[in-house]
Structure 1
Amino acid sequence: MNELFEWIGKVVLSVGGAGVIIISISTFLAKFWTDYYMKKVTARYDKEMEEYKAQLTAELNKIKVMNDLSYEKKRLAFEMKLPIFKEIVPLAVKVIEGSLGIGICLEVKNKDSDYSIPDDVCDRVERDWNEYRNLYITYAGFIPAEIYECFSKIGNDYVVFSVEVMKNRDKHTYYTDELNPKLKNLKLDKEMLLKLVRDYLE
């Protein structure tokens, strides 16, 4: 560009008075070509910008659709699992509380040989246990693994407790030193289960 202006300057000096006209024409042509070039470049950049904005909008819409689908999937999963938890968790708690109730009855029997444990207490806990076991096995595929393991542990700890009770059922003195740790395990199971379910449903 500098060479062009230098050449124009030399031409102007050589032609003398006509230089003013030549400068005017040169200025006009330079402005014309500059405007033309700028418009062309601007149009190209505008087009590229519009294409980029369109791509970006399409990507954002895709992300929004994916987020909506993900949210909907989580919502449906939550709605499906909530009734399961509402059904199983109270039963798990009933089995544990019932076991603790049996533990209290055994403590009383240790102190009073004439005391007999009401049959309906053991029968009620056993019914709750059977219903609980059937439910958590039925819904195993719909429950998060960690929670299922906790359900299963409650079941196993209840069986261990029941076996200990049955071993001593015809004796006057129950071995509370052996039973208490098993009851303690059930209490810890209940706390763990409630924490896991609360954390999951938050």
Structure 2
Amino acid sequence: MITAVIIAVVVIAAAAVLFVGLRRTRGGGSGLKHRFGPEYDHTVARHDGDVRAAEQELRERVRLHGSVKSEPLPPGARERYVAQWAGVQEQFVESPQQAVTEADALLARLARDRGFPDGAHFDEQLAALSVHHAHSVHGYRSVHTAARGQGGTEEMREAMVEARRLFDSLVAEHPADSTRNGRPATADRGHTSWALPRRHAKGSGTS
């Protein structure tokens, strides 16, 4: 009788531990999905659908970079960055490849100035950015890929448009300043518009 009671207690305890573990796993996955958004799906895909491995990587990113705090830009830096980005967008019309290369370098410098790891270590910088700007970091990844000569003109144009979201977030004085009434804050300052023209970019092959 005593043996049966002990076995029953052990089984119940094991079931309780398993239940709590499953709840924590599901809760953690749900929390990571909410925090990382599209970056969560990208990481799962990069791990060939292995959710556990992807979530382990994302948790490690949070552990390493979750405490990063955005540093204020030096006086006058915001205006310089806005002007430089506008110049890169204008350059895209004549030289898309050069434009994405300069956009890649500009984002690396801007992220460094805001307190993120140096852009010389792209993977580390991207990982840190993904923890704090998960919904806009994909554009930076696309621009970095395009800067290495991968993709055609249309892919480069799309990468530039997507990267603008991260640029606006980083260049804003505060996160809430990155958009105003649904528009990028930098667009209100008389610089190049959000979208890049398709038909004028050399080699685009579109009309």
TM-score (norm 1): 0.28
Tell me which structure has the larger Cα radius of gyration. Answer: 1
Q: Normalising by the residue count of structure 2, what TM-score does the alignment of the two structures yield?
A: 0.28
